Amino acid sequence: MFQGNAIVGQSGGPTSVINSSLCGVVQGCFELGQKDPNSKIDKVFGMQYGIEGFMQDKVLDFGSIDPATIEGLKTTPGSALGSCRHKVQDADFPVILEQLKKYNIRYYFLAGGNDTMDTIHRVEKYCKEQGYDLRGVGVPKTVDNDLFATDHTPGFGSAARYVALSVKQAGVLARDMKKVDQYVIFQTIGRDAGWLPAAAACAKVDPEDAPHIILVPEIPFEFDKFIAKAQETYDKYGFVSVVCGEGIRDANKVVVSSLDADGVEIKKEATLDKFGNQELGAMAGTSVAIALHRMLGKHLKRDGKTEGGCRGEFQVTESLPMCGADRTTALDIQEAWNCGRRAVELALEGQSGVMVTMNRVSNDPYKVEYETAPLQAVAVEAKPMPLEYVDAENLFVTKECVDYLKPLIGELPQYVKLF
């Protein structure tokens, strides 16, 4: 008999459906925890503010929470348990183990991305070395869609829809206001993978429609090519819609937010986060969108006249796609819940050291199967977009990419135009 209590936590940035995964875990523990004759779950606890809060003894007993509130997690944005970005150090492991023993935790679930999977893996490994039986299962989460071994991650579909709708609506505005502003730049989050900027392509129906240029981290940024493509697009349509990922870099690995209006690097010291990653966007005090805005503002020619004759706008949504509950898809909510519940099933079956994955078996009709991947296979490293999804020549994405994205984003509204 493998019996004890379960604990679940959330880590890193939220998605609009991470609480649906939390709901799936909690409801799964309550509904399945006493049915298996060989594996039992007695109580279900939650980490308040992730592993950092757990070490500080901030623990929530889900047995005291109204079932209606737990059900309401499915459609609640943010991270209901509270989150953190704590990188576990060697000195933390004894503290974590004592906390696990204190609450008799034998089932350990975390919803998160690459770094979170690394945390589960390291904690489970340490417990095994210390002779403490613990089953750890990861629940995938990230709007970046950059986890290995899974077709996509819960949270990505809704964030992708947020981007596609935003670019579509901003594109209508830009088209109608092109006599005032000749270009618009929309920046998405996403350090190393271009899945979110690629999602903007689903907004496009006609050639004139936004977006016209999509810049992704997988392809090095080329200043001259960017300016030439923007000029060609402006000359053809009278305005330019650009979508960029925050992590795009040039051939020298310099982030584009560090380039001046001529595409030359501005020497400055990089700001790093707790995991050693370079801070981007607002945390770095600048953004790719602003850098691209300056480039076009200086070099784009209006009506064949001298450079610098154009003006434009930039839109940096930062974390809004991570919490936009009004644009969450029903599919994303259900898949997030399924992943949480499947994690409980796996733990009760005796599996540990794995993350729940989704394998797409059919695109039309859309269908996935729930499988697993070893935590060490998904921890730390990011999954880029396949290069066959990127149209590097035209600074866009391919039809194959759009076909992959459409089932996750769902149908978008179509708008009329008078001329």
Residues 390, 260 share a domain: yes
Domain extent at residue 308: 159-321+384-408
Give the pLDDT of residue 373. 96
Residues 139, 234 share a domain: no
Predicted TM-score of the model (pTM): 0.94
Q: What is the pLDDT along the chain (419 residues), one digit of tens a residue?
A: 899 999 999 999 999 999 999 999 999 999 999 998 899 999 999 999 999 999 999 999 999 999 999 999 999 999 999 999 999 999 999 999 999 999 999 999 999 999 999 999 999 999 999 999 999 999 999 999 999 999 999 999 999 999 999 999 999 999 999 999 999 999 999 889 999 999 999 999 999 999 999 999 999 999 999 999 999 999 999 999 999 999 999 999 999 999 999 999 987 665 655 555 565 655 455 799 999 999 999 999 998 887 888 999 999 998 999 999 999 999 999 999 999 999 999 999 999 999 999 999 999 999 999 999 999 989 867 889 999 999 999 999 999 999 999 999 999 999 999 99
Residues 163, 76 share a domain: no
Residues 88, 194 share a domain: no
Give the pLDDT of residue 303. 83
How far apart, in Å, are the Cα atoms of 137 and each of 269, 289, 361, 372, 397?
38, 38, 23, 10, 34
Residues 103, 182 share a domain: no
Residue 9 CA, distance from chain mean position: 18
Is residue 299 within 8 A of residue 307, CB to CB? The reply is: yes
Residues 216, 291 share a domain: yes
The helix-helix angle for 92-102 and 114-129 (nearest 10°) equals 80
Give the pLDDT of residue 308. 83
Judge whether 418 lies within some domain.
no
The one-letter amino acid code at 288 reads V
Q: How many other β-carbons are positioned within 10 Å of the β-carbon of residue 133?
A: 10
Strand partners, 5: 105
Residues 40, 84 share a domain: yes
Residues 330, 311 share a domain: no
Judge whether 58 lies within some domain.
yes
Judge whether 97 lies within some domain.
yes
CATH classification of the domain holding 105: 3.40.50.450
CA-CA distance, 21 to 9, in Å (whole number)? 10
Q: Which residues are catalytic?
A: 144
Is residue 224 within 8 A of residue 195, CB to CB? The reply is: no
Residue in the block written with tokens 């064949």: 304
How far apart, in Å, are the Cα atoms of 369 and each of 10, 137, 366?
24, 17, 11
Residues 92, 210 share a domain: no
Judge whether 207 lies within some domain.
yes
Judge whether 413 lies within some domain.
no
Q: Please give the tally of structural domains in the chain.
A: 2
**Which letter does DSSP use for residue 73 in this model?**
G
Residues 191, 130 share a domain: no
Judge whether 416 lies within some domain.
no
Residues 199, 312 share a domain: yes
CATH classification of the domain holding 404: 3.40.50.460
Judge whether 415 lies within some domain.
no
Judge whether 217 lies within some domain.
yes
3-state SS, one letter per residue, for 115-168: HHHHHHHHHHHHHHHCCCCCEEEEEECCCCCCCCCCCCCCCHHHHHHHHHHHHH
Give the pLDDT of residue 276. 59
Residues 6+ apart with CB under 8 A from 119: 11, 51, 88, 110, 112
Residues 120, 244 share a domain: no
Polymer length of the chain: 419
How far apart, in Å, are the Cα atoms of 305 and each of 144, 237, 299, 309?
40, 16, 11, 7
CA-CA distance, 62 to 111, in Å (whole number)? 17
